[in-house]
Structure 1
């Protein structure tokens, strides 16, 4: 399960059934849950003065693909999944079922909820707060410096069930509220209200999410998306969503 070329510090704690690929380095201050798969050429638990001495904790049944780098001082729930060449800095906290696409970059000091999905090439600035069941699509950037370069950091907040479409930028201190949709190629410089659609640069209100119809000929509303899209989510969450909309 451990490739002969892997370098694993004796202080690292690996659970049962953990596999480690060729040329991967696991430092001392690392805890890896049972049945986790780690690909080749990864580096886990990179020492950092910014970690406060906290370990890197990877929950059980996770999948970390090749060339990914995680600093010490972060903690992830069960079933973390990454693409290739992911970088995650210290003091990132994420719940269960977190997905980070290829070339994802999380700059640390972030809080991320359960079953959040990042596509490839997503950049998350420090002090971002992301809720549960959020979708962030390719090349999205969450920023944090209102007048760069400076020592001021104003993290972005993305609430539950929101979706940020490809190549969008969310500016420092902005909140995207629950169930909102940010259209592709947008620059968001102010609060996005719940269950609304904004788009453009600067982003402006377009409509309510419930006004968007599925392009399948049914005429049904595309949003809230949890009413119709359940793939990859835990049974308990799906059951709650079904009950929510059955009584609506």
Structure 2
């Protein structure tokens, strides 16, 4: 184990590291941290930071994860197996996430959030407190999920993003909005309120445009682009893909 931890890293004797865990140069792992087997922690990371909101609960990171350099995770959060981050990611307390979450470079999860399985955040994504995100969700660069209906205030109303939804780049999802299952939010949109399953919403303010199955692939095939599960399978387990194709 010792040869997998860089000499400059500081790892608390109270932290629980599984088999095959590697820790890069100048990283710090505090007391209340549990890291699953075969996880890689990059350089200059800080894991298990405490604050007044974490209730001293453990930070748990599942097996086979890869946390890249300069990332900061507060204590009090739980992540399933195969968590993957870019560089300079920040995740605050009480984030509960499923397996195979991907968090892009410079993204920020503000804590007190629930996130499902196989969720993809690209770079520079901001997830506000009290957000609830389902399974197989895509959130693209510079998207912001907000939570304060009349800033600044102590009122926080989280956004809900349901399974298979995709939110395109530079969109803002306003407090309390519900992005229904399979919804596509177009780029540069400002979305408020409820949405209808399987529809496209775009504009500022965003309005319903058409069902997603009206959008065609721009590869010359003439195939429908949505649901995206019919043609995009990279990074998903074979059994899951087979289930999509059978539908």
> Alpha-carbon deviations, 1:55-79, whole Å to 9, x = none?
0000000000000000000000000
Match of 1:203 among 206, 209, 212: 206
CA distance in 2, matches of 1:163, 1:225: 9
Match of 1:87 among 70, 90, 100: 90
Q: How many residues align?
A: 244
1:34 aligns with 2:37: yes
Secondary structure at 2:60's aligned position in 1?
Answer: strand
CA distance in 1, matches of 2:128, 2:169: 17
1:169 aligns with 2:172: yes
In the TM superposition, 1:155-194 aligns within 5 A as 155-194=158-197
Match of 1:130 among 118, 128, 133: 133
1:229 aligns with 2:196: no
CA distance in 2, matches of 1:176, 1:193: 8
Q: CA RMSD in A?
A: 0.6
CA distance in 1, matches of 2:85, 2:79: 12
Structure 1 residues without counterparts, runs of 5 or longer: none
Structure 2 residues without counterparts, runs of 5 or longer: none
Secondary structure at 1:49's aligned position in 2?
Answer: coil
Runs of 4+ in structure 1 deviating by more than 4 angstroms, as ranges, are none
Q: TM-score, normalised by structure 2?
A: 0.98
> Alpha-carbon deviations, 1:16-64, whole Å to 9, x = none?
0000000000000000000000000000000122112210000000000
Secondary structure at 1:4's aligned position in 2?
Answer: coil
1:69 aligns with 2:72: yes
